[in-house]
Amino acid sequence: MNKRMIRLKVLLLSVLGLLIFSCQQPKEPLSTNEIWYSQPASKWMQALPVGNGRLGAMVFGDPQHERIQLNEDSMWPGAADWGNSKGTPEDLAHYRKLLLEGNPHEVDANYMDSFSYKTVVRSHQTMGDLYIDFLDDKKVENYKRALDLNKALVSVDYSANGAEYSEKVFSSKADDVMVIQLSTTAKEGMDFELKLDRPEDHGHKTVSTSNPSNTEISMLGMVTQYGGKKNSQPFEIDYGVKFETRLKVVNNSGTVTAKDGVLSLKGVKNATLLIVCNTSFYTDNYEAKNEETLTKLQGKSFDDLLERHIEDYRELYARVDLDLGGKALDSIPTDQRLKNIKEGKDDPDLAAKLFQYGRYLLISSSRPGTNPANLQGLWNNHIEAPWNADYHLNINLQMNYWPAEVTNLSECNVPLFSFGDRLLERGRITAKEQYGIDRGAVMHHASDLWATPWMRAERTYWGAWIHGGGWLAQHYWERYRYTQDENFLKEQGYPFIKAISEFYLDWLQKDEKTGKWISFPEASPENSYYAADGKPAAMTTGAAMGHQIIAEAFGNAVKAAEILNIQDEFINEVKTKLIDLHPGVVIGEDGRILEWNEPYEEPEKGHRHMSHLYALHPGDAITSKDKEFFAAAQKTIDFRLQHGGAGTGWSRAWMINFNARLLDAKSAQENIQKFMQISVADNLFDEHPPFQIDGNFGYTAGVAELLMQSHEGFIRVLPALPENWGTGAIKGLVARGNVEVDLQWQDGNLVKIGLMAKTEDVLETVQYRNENKEVELPIGKKIWLNGDLTTVN
């Protein structure tokens, strides 16, 4: 044997030894992350969510009359058939002229008549309900209802008449099925009935049920919206996504009989219920797809399905673990812990659980191959949901995805970009037809399953905004910054950023007074100002947020082109207009950042949107490097809060992210406390009110920002650690550049930091307090530093 073969054999044996060693190492246990209650849910906002990205449910846990409310992410009425635009380029020229003449009120009064579909009711909807009615009265004792975040498993356990009863529920991505196990130790077993149903739509039946076999229920239906609206007028939508929900019982004792779409079980000690659903949005053969899925499940036990589910889920979830101590409080029900917080008590461990809950919800409502998480994620019990449970692009959809990359859930971002690409195609048509812009694409403040790019709103205050695509473009660029995936940048990122920038190039107008390029007509999301006549107005000749987003899109286009070695006329034009673009960050005489191009007074001084601080977060044009802008941003926030700002859940979550970027640990701690006191329901869902899931995701992103930041080109460690989180640890955060970060701290001081480059060797700069350290990171090897940033021996 020659020397080369010997070296190869030694190398293979070494690798095999390492593999065997790694397989033998026990996995590091996750922090206990269970939320639990000592009573069933009496209302929907107390029920517990499960989901596999597409198929979800809310579990109430009633021992006598159980309700499991079901969801699927493509349950929408209508189709992509309402066109792409409204209004003409001539209309745009008319309104621009009015604004230049100082007549914003006429623009406010008529703009939406020209361009908007106005009020639209076309909503994501509930898939229906599974009812489990037990036929014997039980005196329930020792009741516990819990969601184990480490396993994505809801369980209900209690005793009655000397016997134990159990219900377990999970939604499996691995097998595309929702699974419910009902079991008892009672000798006589359980007697109960199973029924699938769905609410009527304004008196119209929405489903029909039948029994395909003695152990199955089929629920066939089509999503309609008989209470729909278009252009603020009643508009019956009698067509939409078609679907079949199928339930199959697998039992090892007792009997099952079928009649009139209902299953009756008697003397059953253990039953597994399998629920599958497919829709015409994903496949024309949705009934056959259900049959195929159920066939694949034959012979798989509940334990088999649970094991596959947990393995698939933990591959994502277990990447990050946060421990803030306080585990002794796990003996107290979660609703009582929330009550204690509302009374002013401290509970860092529940804050840590709420962080992980956000990650759980993102995994459960956004997986590759599904639609993105909507305004309620996946969980919606309505036929007409608040705000249609749609995709709001003026912060809400984007906030849903703030935690994806930094909390190591990059795969969960995939549905956002799939949706964005669909929006892009229709947005190109809108730009051309509505505004006369032949290149690029535009998206307005809201969309839905059908990737509608058109304007929808009754009033200019919230609906005339044109920067939904610009804000989404940031996510495409950030995806690259985190993953360093050049193929993604080439195939999806740069094309999207370029299309949005092309639209802006032709949208901008030269301001004759300043010589700068300005964006108008403009609105600042959901806010207004006092015009020259002292009356409130919304539309202006320029707003801070719009210019901040345009500058960011242009800058990212230039940076992406450099990476991809692109130099063409488009890039030259971007560079030229970027130089003379009206600045998005301007400090007024009172030291605050202006929200509009002029220093207007505003009717709502404590407005919930902080649009003019986009450049601070989620943007990064305002950083600690510029002390003047930094101080102005802080003064802007102080002014808003002094006048009652951040009242809604998502707004408070955004405020936590602002606090983190401003290195303001004290304010972050106060806002976390207020968020948990005011905006968190018993089941930990965010209350707008009503329920909006963006606050959950925004909170999780905010916690990550408090512990680690990388937007300034280096890794800043514990930049805004709340005082009451004095001792703790987190593993698995991801910094831009695709570097994984682990942290340990004690008594408010860094003890240890672990860094691992995930895609390539890097030279990374780490900053802790006033100390900086450059660290060479070989790919795949974790490097540890002490609290003083010296290398661990």
Residue carrying structure tokens 């403040």: 445
The tens digit of pLDDT for each residue in 595-633 reads 999 999 989 888 778 899 999 999 999 999 999 999 999
Letter string b/e over residues 229-259, b meaning 16 or more CB atoms within 10 A of that residue's CB? bbeeeebbbeebbbbbbbbbbbbeebebebe
**153-160 and 140-148: which strand pairing?**
antiparallel
**What CA–CA distance (Å, rounded) separates 583 from 589?**
16
Nearest C-alpha neighbor of 774 from the set 783, 765, 787, 785: 765
Q: How is residue 383 written in tokens? A: 């036929």
**Residue 5 confidence (pLDDT) above 60:** no
Contacts of 41 (CB under 8 A, 6+ apart): 47, 48, 59, 60, 61, 62, 145, 683
Which pLDDT value is given to residue 607?
77
The tens digit of pLDDT for each residue in 208-224 reads 999 999 999 999 999 99
Q: Where does residue 87 rank: exposed (0-12), middle (13-18), buried (19+ CB within 10 A)?
A: buried
The tens digit of pLDDT for each residue in 690-730 reads 999 999 999 999 999 999 999 999 999 999 999 999 999 99
Which pLDDT value is given to residue 793?
67
Three-state DSSP string of 711-748: CCCCEEECCCCCHHHCCEEEEEEEECCCEEEEEEEECC
Q: How confident is residue 28, by pLDDT bands cut at 50, 70 and 90?
A: low
The helix/strand/coil state of 100 is: helix
Query: Quick one: DSSP state of residue 443?
Result: B
Query: Quick one: DSSP state of residue 140?
Result: E
Which pLDDT value is given to residue 6?
31
342 contacts 19 by C-beta, under 8 angstroms: no
Q: Where does residue 222 rank: exposed (0-12), middle (13-18), buried (19+ CB within 10 A)?
A: middle
**What CA–CA distance (Å, rounded) separates 128 from 383?**
10
Nearest C-alpha neighbor of 78 from the set 277, 235, 199: 235
φ, ψ dihedrals at 163, nearest 5° = -115, 160
Residue carrying structure tokens 């591959």: 315
Mean pLDDT along residues 21-50: 80
The tens digit of pLDDT for each residue in 414-436 reads 999 999 999 999 999 999 999 99
For residue 426, the one-letter residue type is R
421 contacts 492 by C-beta, under 8 angstroms: yes
* Mean pLDDT of the residues in the chain: 94
**What CA–CA distance (Å, rounded) separates 395 from 446?**
10
**Residue 508 confidence (pLDDT) above 90:** yes
The pTM of this model reads: 0.95
Q: Nearest 5°: CA angle at 616, between 615 and 619?
A: 55
**728-735 and 771-777: which strand pairing?**
unpaired
407 contacts 321 by C-beta, under 8 angstroms: no
**Residue 21 confidence (pLDDT) above 70:** no
**Residue 1 confidence (pLDDT) above 80:** no
**What CA–CA distance (Å, rounded) separates 544 from 463?**
17
**What CA–CA distance (Å, rounded) separates 741 from 755?**
5
Which pLDDT value is given to residue 25?
38
The tens digit of pLDDT for each residue in 371-401 reads 999 999 999 999 999 999 999 999 999 999 9
Which pLDDT value is given to residue 590?
94
- In DSSP terms, which residues pair with 743 in a beta bridge? 730, 753
Q: How confident is residue 29, by pLDDT bands cut at 50, 70 and 90?
A: confident
Nearest C-alpha neighbor of 227 from the set 197, 267, 268, 199: 199
Mean pLDDT along residues 472-476: 98
**Residue 343 confidence (pLDDT) above 50:** yes
Q: What percent of the chain has pLDDT over 70?
A: 96
* Strands laid side by side in the 715-717 sheet: 708-709, 715-717, 762-768, 771-777
**What CA–CA distance (Å, rounded) separates 415 from 552?**
23
Contacts of 163 (CB under 8 A, 6+ apart): 184, 185, 186, 187
615 contacts 584 by C-beta, under 8 angstroms: yes
Which pLDDT value is given to residue 3?
33
Mean pLDDT along residues 676-699: 96
**What CA–CA distance (Å, rounded) separates 383 from 238?**
13
Which pLDDT value is given to residue 645?
76
Handedness of CA 544, 550, 553, 554 (dihedral sign): negative
- In DSSP terms, which residues pair with 245 in a beta bridge? 219, 277
Q: How is residue 215 written in tokens? A: 């152990």
**What CA–CA distance (Å, rounded) separates 129 from 68?**
6
Give the number of residues written for the chain: 793
**What CA–CA distance (Å, rounded) separates 278 from 289?**
7
**What CA–CA distance (Å, rounded) separates 384 from 391?**
15
329 contacts 31 by C-beta, under 8 angstroms: no
**What CA–CA distance (Å, rounded) separates 698 from 583?**
27
Which of 16-25, 27-36, 103-112, 510-519 is predicted least confidently? 16-25
Q: What percent of the chain has pLDDT over 90?
A: 92
Mean pLDDT along residues 477-497: 98
The tens digit of pLDDT for each residue in 265-312 reads 999 999 999 999 999 999 999 999 999 999 999 999 999 999 999 999
- In DSSP terms, which residues pair with 193 in a beta bridge? 133, 264
Q: How is residue 228 written in tokens? A: 């729909």
What's the farthest any 2 CA atoms get from each other in the chain? 94
